[in-house]
Each structure stands twice: as structure tokens, then as C-alpha cells.
Amino acid sequence: MSANHDRANLLEVRGLTKIFGTLTACNHIDLNIARGEIHALLGENGAGKSTLVKMLFGSLEPNSGEIFWDGEAVRITSPGVAKKLGIGMVFQHFSLFEALTAAENIALSLNDGSPISTIAAKARALSYSYGLPLDPESLVGDLSVGERQRIEIIRCLLQTPQLIILDEPTSVLTPQEADKLFETLERLRSEGKSILYISHRLEEVKRICDRATVLRHGKVVGHCNPRQETAASLARMMVGNEVKAVVRAPAEGIETAPALLEIRGLTRKPATPFAIPLKNINLSVRAGEVIGIAGVAGNGQGEFFESVSGEVLQQDAGSVRIRGKDAGALSITGRRLMGAAFVPEERLGHGAAPRMRLSENLLLSRHATDGKSFVGSGGMVKNGSVYSAAQRIIATMDVRKSAPDPEAAALSGGNLQKFIVGRELDRKPSVMVVNQPTWGVDAGAAAHIRQALIELARSGSAVLVISQDLDELFELSDAIAVMHNGELSAPLPIAEATFEKIGLLMGGAEPGHAEHTMETA
Amino acid sequence: MDITVNILLTIATAATPLLIAAIGELVVERSGVLNLGVEGMMIMGAVGGFGAGYLTGSPWIGLLAAIIVGALFSLLFAVMTLSLATNQVATGLSLTLLGLGLSGMIGTSFVGQPGVRLPNLDIPGLSSIPVVGKLIFGQDPLFYLSIALTAAVMWFLFKTRTGLTLRSIGDSHSSAHALGIKVIRYRYLAVIFGGACAGLAGGHLSLVYTPQWVENMSAGRGWIALALVVFASWRPWRVLAGAYIFGAVWIGQLHAQAFGIPVPSQFLSSLPYLATIVVLVLISRNKRLTMMNTPASLGQPFVPDR
């Protein structure tokens, strides 16, 4: 090809385009990555980051555009080709096999035919040299997400790649684990390796990245040096306009307000070998306050939500109390009738039936609580009033859609999440429990949802938010409790909570012994 | 003494086709594919094996034909479910129905014809040792093959890299694809291996067990093989144990019926099924182990997005 392809660039991408049906996920993307740099790829959910990366790693084929590796035009037709070139990838949604050991997982991606024991020894040595200790014999299903990510990183490093792609690596880590990861990345950079770092966390990007490419709606909207930008200016580039900050009005008179949701000694045995048992959880959420539950994914949050919402019933009816009455033995509908509302983690398939219309989804969750207005005599559904209620929610929550009453699956993640949260808010519940309210939701929609939750609390409801996103919890909670390995810490008032304190609790440190743990570690 | 030896021999003969078919299906399911067409592939193997043996006079050619017919028949399933991503349950069921019907049609002219039988092993000197001679050195060749096959599959799945890859595909085909493993190619080979095994098991029925052709002669053995795989939690040695427990109780209840013990015959006929389920449930009560051995992507169609 022409000589203007600079060999100083390890990877050069020209006009890369990927079209899915009517959606142009990546539209003429240009990207240069130099040797020995940490290059950030910034963008909101749905901006095309993952699609771009999949094309670079060979798991998707571009419709048009060129990729130059070390100055040579290449076609990356499969992950195998990418690996041969020297591109390694650490996936966002882990691509590990739960039923296999760490060593077996690593062996699968190496294809060099050496015995598992040799690979295990190599992995162990490499993991210790990078300060990411790993036991190759352990079963992946038993490991925490942080440990699983170590396996992915070690697996990637064993292939001695020149370019390492990390897709949202810190979204599942405690702040301390993230610090450890940054050290590793800086060491890799000093060894001359290039890193493509995908994230929407701006502080991180400012901290470790040398250059950034910003994507919006599938297009490159800018290149910049993140160290010279502010978090606000980066956010503006990502979103395209100012993101409204969430306002948390001071909560007044909470101390004397009645507890509307009480969890007393909630204990649950694991239902499957990889599930987390809940151990004697105590918590009360008073009228007017938002309590956040932080924790690394897979520490029992899912089990806790199931128990509180009534997807799983408790043997001790008093272990969950809603508005002062025992609710532990009641089903979801029973608990809803007492004034509670629940938003589960998965939007599609759990929070909404994907192939049903929004109005039908509304009826599915509220036919019992709003029986009078939605269902007429003889059990006939009043389609008109369901439809107009759905339209009311759509308007209040600013849900953007392509048809008046589309199927749930036709909405983007953020808009569907706004509808699902709005569907519960519309009832003005006195207890609201939300799991991952803004997971995978763009910044504008996330701010809208968070503001609505705060306003619900300030109007006299008890709101409990389970989230892995610490920024979110600090933005909306009045107090934060941490779930670790099925145990819940006492809530820490927001004025006393810091990232470091919460991070230590997320890593399993005892509340009062935080400093001690730091010394011995 | 002779009676005991004979009973043991008949147990082995009853267990062998179950074991061969189940071991084949175990490999298929370990790759994440659920082929409910075992019964159909088995009966096709039986009619193919009988026909080739009858026409050529050689039971060995019959056996080879059984394997080929079973493999070809499974190829039909593979093309449908792997290349065209049809529903595996529906496709497997239709494969069974098709096999039962097609074999009946092909076999019309074979009904009542004398077949050829695969000779038993006969090692001069050894096979005539009292008791153990017949048991260890005097059975049909497929008995030895079935045991060797179980050991080989165990070694393949848990000791080789290819076996590890196959298990990983069964655990998560999308993760395997992300690593660049050729998911569809592995599954094709696994399905064809399963078909060849089912065909061979069918050949055992029409060339060893009862050397003749009778319509529907597989008599539900394909379904039992399928159940054995699940109840054995996808572990080869447990499949072997299950096949022999089933064979033993089956033969035992036949003798009990012959003795005329005062228990309803329907109850006795159901005993092999009950006993096998109870025993296999008991040995697989370790939930953790079962979870680890269950192929997590079993039955899900895989369509790579490109």
C-alpha cells in the first residue's frame, strides 16, 4: 500500500464500517495506536465500541474499511488470525468456562499442545511476577469476578501479544483491585506493549491513558489527550451535550421516620453449587431515604434481591417486613399489594417480556395491584386504560421509541430501563427495590432514572438500590451498605463514606479492622 | 455353575448395545448437542447391518454397514441442527420417527430370513477354562469393543487436549467461539461419532443379540441409552455401571417371570427402569459434581454472528 502508513503506529484503522440491518454500528472509524501507549476508546453504551473491538479481534467481519498492522494491510478473519498477529483480548463478559479449572481455561486458548501441568506452572509463575496471584488448579465457577479477570489477563499475556485490548475491565472490580490492574497496565506499557482501553469511566481514563478516541453513535467524534481534559469535557464529547447533574436534596427528619422495609436475620442456603448463601442480613430502610447496596458482582446481591422481592419465599415470615407487617411468606404479588415495587436486574426476559408490547408488559406487572383500573367485570382487560397508562409512563420518563406501543425488545436498553423503572414509579410505591438501575444505560437516561428515584424517596417512600456502580451509589444514596460473600455490612452514612472505605468492605475487610488489614496486606 | 455363567453372559449381551449407544451419545452431549434420534439411528444400523450381512453372508461387512448407516443418518441430523440451526429436540424426535418408519420399509423383504451371526471369541485353550474362560475369553467381539470404547472415551475426554476442547464447547459455545475454536466442526464430528456408535449398537442387535430382522427390534433401547447418559451425569464409567445394572435387572426379572413368582409381570418388567434410575440417582447425588459435568449449553443452537 501507500507509504504514508506510519510504521510508528502498531495498529492503524481506516474507514472501518459495520452495518447490522438498518443500524450502522460503526461508521468509517479511523483509529491509530502507537507502540507503548495506553489508548482509550471512549463512548456511551451503544456508541459502537464493542463492535469496533470485535472487528479488531476477528469475531466480526467489517463491511468495509482497512486495518494496517505494523504498516501492512491485514484481514483479521478470525480470533485465531488476531492472536497470530499479536492481538490479545480481555473480554468484558468473561469468556471463561465455569466447569473447567483455570489452567484448563488457559490451555484452551494457547493451542501449543504442551501438557496442562506445564501450562499451569507457566501461568503461576507469570501471575506472581505481575503481582496477580492465581491458583491454576481452582475451578473457575468458584472464583470471584476479580480472580476470573486475572485468568483472562494471564491467558492473554501468555500469548505475548503486542496489543492488548481490555473491554470495560474495571466495571467488576473493587477500587483496590482496579489500582492493582492499573499497575499491571503501566508495567506492560513500560515493556513497550500497546493497550487499547475501553471504558466509560472518565477518571480512570484521565489517570492512565495517553490518548483517547471518542465514539458517538458509531462515529469518531474526536481524538484528545485525556490528561488535558476535564471529566466534564470528556463527558460532553461522549454524550454530545451537557449531562444534567443529579441533585440530591437533603433528607430531613429521616431519624424519626418509620422503617418501611425491614430485613431481619435473613438467611438463605445456596440453591445451586455456584450460588452464594445469605448470612443473617439485617437492614431497615426508612421513609424518605435511599439506601445503596454496593458489592462486587456475584457476592449474593442476586440472591438477596430474589428474597426481598418474593421470587423466593422465606421460611421465616418475619425476615422481610414491609410497612411493619411480615411479608416473608408472601409472593411477589402479595408484596406488591402491600405497597412494594421491584425492578430486577435483567431488562429483557426478567424485567420485561421481550416480544410483548409495552402496554402488555405494564399489564403483566400491575394486573393485581391495579386490578380495578386495568381489569373490568368478568376478567376482561380494559385495553384502553392500560394503553393510556403506558403512554403516561412513556411521557413522564421520556421514553424514546419508534412506534406508539412497540415491543419491549424494539427499545434500546436505556429507554426500556426508563420504561421499566417508570412502570413501578407510576404506582407511587411506598417501598421500591431496584437491582442495577442503570446498568448499560447511557448517561442521560441514567441521570433521569437516578433523579426519579431520589424524588420518590423524598416524597416519603423507602428506596433500596443494589448496584455495582460506586459512582451511582455515591450520587443517589443517603447511606451505603456493602455486600460481601453473602453478608451485609452496616450502612455507612454518605457523609462518612469514601471510595476507599467502601472498596475495602467490598474486598471483604472487616469494618473496624480496615486499617489493620491495610498494614498486614 | 453353568447357569450362573450363562446368566452373566446374557447380562453382558443385553448391556453391550446400551453401553455402545450411550457412550456415543455421551460424546455428542458433551459437545453441547442433544440428539434424541438415538433410537432411529440404532434401528437404521440394525436394518443396514442385517441387510449387508444377509446379502454378502459376512457378519463383519454387516457390522461395517451398520456403522456407516448410523453415521450417515446422524449426518442428516447434523446438517439440520448445526448448519441450519433447527431445534434439536424436534429434529431428534423426527430422526427417530423417520428411522423407525424407513427401517420398516427397507426391511420388508428381510422379515423371516435367517441372518448371519458374529462368531464369539474363541481362543484355543483360554476360552475353554471353566467359568472364567467363557466370561473373559469367549464373548462376542462387540463386548470387548464396548469396554475398550468406554475406556477410550474416558481417556479422550479427560486426558487429551481435543477432549478438553470438546468439553469446553459443551460448557459454553460462545466462549469457545470467542477463543477461535471451530464449534460447528467439532459438533459435526461428535454427532457423527454418536451416529456411528448408535449404528454399531443397532448392528449388535441384528448380528449378535438376535441374528434376524424384526421391525422395531430396537424396542426402546435408544431411549434407555439416552436416559442412561443423563442419569449417569455425563460420566463414562457411570454409563457403564448403568448399562450393566439395567442389563442385570432385565435378565433377572426375565428369570423371575419364568420361575412364576407371584408378582405381577408388569411390575417385574418395570424393575430394570426403576433400579437403574434409583442407583444412578444415588451415585450422582453430589450436586456440585453433577453441575460441573452437565454440559451447560446442551441443546442450544449455535449461530455465530459475523
Contact A462, A431 (CB under 8 A): yes
Nearest to A109 among B174, B179, B294 (CB): B179
CB atoms < 10 A from the CB of A6, how many? 11
Q: How many CB pairs below 8 Å do chains A and B form together? A: 65
> Which of A78, A91, A97 has the CB atom closest to B168's CB atom?
A97
User: What does the alpha-carbon distance between residue A236 and residue A230 come to, in Å, rounded to a whole number?
Assistant: 10
pLDDT value of residue A94:
60
* Dihedral sign for Cα atoms in the order A461, A466, A470, A472: negative
How do residues B18-34 score in pLDDT, each as one tens digit?
Answer: 999 999 999 999 999 99
Residue A13 CB burial class (10 angstroms; 0-12, 13-18, ≥19): buried
For the ranges A162-171, B246-255, B288-297, the lowest mean pLDDT is seen at B288-297
Crossing angle for the helix pair B141-159 and B236-259, to the nearest 10 degrees = 150
Q: Name the residue in chain B with its Cα closest to that of A109.
A: B179
The whole-model pTM stands at 0.75
Grid cell 406508539 — which residue? A404
Question: What b-and-e string marks burial along A188-210, b requiring 16 or more CB atoms within 10 Å of the CB?
Answer: bbeeebbbbbbbbbbebbbebbb
DSSP symbols for A216-236 = ETTEEEEEE-GGGS-HHHHHH
| A77, β-bridge pairs | none
Contact A249, A233 (CB under 8 A): no
Of A300, A319, A299, which is closest to residue A308 (Cα–Cα)? A319
* Structure confidence at residue B221 as a pLDDT band (50, 70, 90): very high
Smallest Cα–Cα separation from A488: which of A326, A285, A312, A334?
A: A285
Q: Which of A59, A96, A111, A152 to mutate to test the interface with B (most CBs of B within 10 A)?
A: A59
Query: What pLDDT, on the 0 to 100 scale, is given for residue A517?
Result: 39
Q: Which residues contact A147 (CB under 8 A, 6 or more apart)?
A: A134, A138
Closest partner residue to B172 among A60, A79, A97, by Cβ? A97
Query: What is the pLDDT averaged over residues B292-303?
Result: 85
Which CATH code of 3.40.50.11540, 1.20.1050.10, 2.40.50.100, 3.40.50.300 fits the domain covering A249-339+429-521? 3.40.50.300
**Cα–Cα distance measured from residue A479 to residue A497, given in angstroms and rounded to the nearest whole number:** 8
* Chain A CB contacts of B298 below 8 Å: none
Q: Do B178 and A100 touch (CB under 8 A)?
A: no
Cα gap A157→A257, rounded to integer Å: 54
E strand or H helix at B272, and its extent?
helix B265-283
CB B259 within 8 A of CB B230: no
Helix (H, G, I), strand (E, B) or coil at A467: coil
Whole-angstrom Cα distance, residue A309 to residue A364?
Answer: 16
Which residues of chain A neighbour B179 with C-beta distances below 8 Å? 79, 95, 108-109
Q: Which of B161, B180, B306 sits opposite A60 (nearest CB)?
A: B306
- Cell numbers 443517589 label which residue? A476
Instruction: List alpha helices for A11-115, DSSP H.
Output: 49-56, 79-85, 102-110
Beta bridge partners of residue B34, listed in sequence order: none
User: Quick check: B291 and A108 CB within 8 A?
Assistant: no
Cβ contact A95–B178 (<8 Å): yes
CA distance linking residue A197 with residue B166, whole number of Å: 32
Contact list in A for residue B286 (CB cut-off 8 A) is none
- What residues in B contact A98, CB-CB < 8 Å? 171-172, 296
Terminal-residue alpha carbon distance, chain B: 66
Judged by a CB distance cut-off of 8 A, whether residue A98 touches chain B is yes
**E strands in A391-458:** 431-435
Domain ranges of chain A: 9-239, 249-339+429-521, 351-428
> Are A60 and B180 within 8 A, CB to CB?
no
Quick one: pLDDT at residue A521? 34
B210 touching A (Cβ < 8 Å):
no
Q: Which three cell numbers, joined as nine digits, stand for A475?
A: 450520587
B130 touches chain A (CB under 8 A): no
Least Cα separation, residue A374 to chain B (angstroms):
38
Query: Quick check: A98 and B180 CB within 8 A?
Result: no
Residues 281-310 of A with CB under 8 A from B: none
Predicted confidence band of residue B154 (pLDDT cuts 50, 70, 90)? very high
pLDDT tens-place string over residues A273-288 = 667 899 999 999 999 9
Higher pLDDT, A22 or B160: B160
Instruction: Flag residues of chain A having pLDDT under 50.
Output: 1-4, 512-521
Q: How many independent structural domains does chain B possess?
A: 1
* ipTM at complex level: 0.78
Mean pLDDT to the nearest integer, B176-197: 92
Q: Is B2 on the interface with A (CB under 8 A)?
A: no
pLDDT at A6: 56
Q: How far apart are CA A358 and CA A411, in angstroms?
A: 10
What is the grid cell recorded at A200?
466509560
A143 touches chain B (CB under 8 A): no
Mean pLDDT of B214-240: 91
How many CB atoms sit inside 10 A of residue A474's CB? 17
Q: Do the domain assignments include residue B300?
A: no
B167 in contact with A, Cβ within 8 Å: yes
Do the Cβ atoms of A40 and A211 come closer than 8 Å? yes
Mean pLDDT, residues B286-290: 73
| B118 touches B63 (CB < 8 A) | yes
Q: Under an 8 A CB cutoff, do B171 and A58 touch?
A: no
Q: How far is CA A510 from CA A279, A304, A484, in A?
A: 15, 20, 10
Q: Is residue B304 part of a domain?
A: no
Closest chain B CA to residue A139: B292
Identify from B169, B172, B179 which residue to disrupt to test chain A contact, counting A C-beta atoms within 10 A and taking the largest count. Answer: B179
Tell me which DSSP letter residue A137 carries: T
Query: Between chains, do B177 and A59 touch, taking CB under 8 Å as contact?
Result: yes
A-chain residues within 8 Å CB-CB of B172?
A: 95, 97-98
Domain assignment of residue B306, yes or no: no
Interface test with B, best of A19, A20, A51, A95 (most B CBs within 10 A): A95
The residue of chain B with its CA nearest to that of A79 is B180
Contact across the interface for A78 and B291, Cβ inside 8 Å: no
> Is B180 in Cβ contact with A274 (below 8 Å)?
no
Residues in chain A with CB shorter than 8 Å from the CB of B32 are none
Q: Which residue of A has its CA nearest to B292?
A: A99
Q: Which residue of A has its CA nearest to B293?
A: A99
Which CATH architecture describes the domain A9-239?
A: 3-Layer(aba) Sandwich (3.40)
Is B163 within 8 Å of chain A by CB? Answer: no
The CATH number assigned to the domain holding B181 equals: 1.10.3470
* pLDDT computed for residue A93 by the predictor: 62
pLDDT of residue B71: 97
A173 compared with B74, residue with greater pLDDT: B74
**Structural domain contains residue B305:** no
Mutation for testing the A interface, residue in B29, B158, B161, B285 having most A CBs under 10 Å: B161
Whether A100 has its CB under 8 Å from any CB of chain B: the answer is yes
Contact criterion met (CB < 8 Å) for A98 and B171: yes
> Does residue B71 sit within a domain?
yes
Question: Does residue B109 sit within a domain?
Answer: yes
Question: Which range is least confidently modeled, A48-52, B177-181, B220-224, B251-255?
Answer: B177-181
In Å, how far is B91's CA from the nearest CA of chain A? 25
**A148, amino acid identity:** R
Kindly report the nearest CA distance between residue A121 and chain B, in angstroms.
Answer: 17
Q: Residues 6 or more apart from A12 whose CB is under 8 A from it?
A: A5, A6, A31, A32, A33, A67, A68, A71
**Is it the case that residue B36 has pLDDT exceeding 60?**
yes
A window 19-58, beta carbon within 8 A of B? 58
Cβ–Cβ contact A63 with B under 8 A: no
Given an 8 Å threshold on Cβ–Cβ distance, is B171 in contact with A100?
yes
Chain B residue with CA closest to A273: the answer is B288
Residues of chain B in contact with residue A78, where contact means CB-CB under 8 angstroms, are 180
For an interface test with A, give the residue of B30, B158, B168, B287 to mutate (most A CBs within 10 A): B168
The residues facing A483 across adjacent strands are A488
Q: What is the mean pLDDT of chain B?
A: 90
Taking residues B104-130, report their average pLDDT. 85
